Amino acid sequence: MPDQNKSQKQTRKQDPDLATIVRTTQGSYRVIVGRDVVDGLGLELRKTGQEGRAFLIADEVLFPGPVRRAQEALERGGYETHVLALEIGESNKNLETLEVVCSWLADRRAERGDVVVAMGGGVTGDLVGFVAATWLRGVAVVHVPTSLTAMVDSSIGGKTGVNLPQGKNLLGAFHQPKLVLQDVGHLETLPPREMAAGWAEAVKHGLILDADLLDMFERLAPQMIALEGDGPVEAIRRSVAIKGEIVSADEFETGDRRVLLNYGHTIAHAIETVSGYGEYLHGEAVAIGMMAAAGIATRLGMIDSELVERQRRVLESYNLPTQAHNLDAEAIIDATKSDKKSRGGTIRWVLLEGPGQATTRRDVPDDVVLEAVQAVLS
């Protein structure tokens, strides 16, 4: 529905610098996307009125170059900066790592007026964001995402969390950042597999809310993968604007609007739980989960098989998996019972109605879910 897409794009808030403005009950913040924007980190943070010291907590793989650059930018903004290298992955996004970070802050007497800066991928942002949400009952946080997944998805919206053995992100909080700064240059050193995983979340935005963006991803896959020209920056900005628009409208995921962003995530989280964190990158699991969700939608008569195959082609053009291996369908179904979108034990499934159009359904028969899951397992 082109008119619907046009209307949606007109409501997405951007300032003259092409930064997306996200409006929440915890305050409004800017999401700045571009090349070399990390050099303005300290000055942009000053514009928010933030005082105190900066505690830069970064994935150790970003040392020394990118972290030093961010530290120098913070110091140019007048912030006394302390730096922690964090060995972090989905497998240790847990209470033990949380304690390590909190002990580091305690040793340095971090105060409520200070700011925590999370630099790294989505896992880093999740954990460090949760630290900020709980340290002294809440301190300011800035996100400097360096993975594509974190840029287009997890760094925006205030979701934070850590894993428990029973499931992913079961311990978490909504804690909105003061600023999100996304330097596309950080993506140039990402391994191809991690880049592909990030594109899954961006393609998702086109599938659920922006048919024109989906067309762009379909048409420009080689340029996107190579980060050539203006296309990747524009695509990331548009994905960010979509996420920002939805977060502004449904901050705490109480309605059906924000839950649309979880397209593919019910099965994705189940795959991650059953396979063991780290076997599949989050974006890879989301790609497989979107295929399962499309399978549910076509079995319910909501979409035709042509859209299912189009989705498959687009995902595979970004080198994403569309099937999972050596997993048990019943175990996947059982793992969905812990899904955070459940209400009264019933899952709210996010399903497509057409390109750029998604809705939620609660009345999905168990046998339909089982068939769709079996279809994406090999």
Residues annotated as catalytic (active site), given as ranges: 137, 159, 201, 243, 253, 257, 262, 265, 269, 282
Query: What is the phi/psi pair of residue 117, to 5°?
Result: -115, 120
Q: Helix, strand, coil: what percent of the chain each, to 5?
A: 55, 20, 30
Give the residue carrying structure tokens 């303005």. 40
Q: Which residues partner with 50 through β-bridges?
A: none
Query: What is the phi/psi pair of residue 256, to 5°?
Result: -90, -5
Q: Compute the distance between CA of residue 167 and CA of residue 269 in angstroms, rounded to an integer.
A: 8
DSSP H helices in the chain = 2-11, 41-47, 65-76, 95-107, 122-134, 148-149, 192-209, 211-219, 221-226, 231-249, 265-275, 282-299, 305-317, 329-335, 366-375
Q: Compute the distance between CA of residue 241 and CA of residue 227 in angstroms, rounded to an integer.
A: 19
Q: Compute the distance between CA of residue 33 and CA of residue 35 in angstroms, rounded to an integer.
A: 7
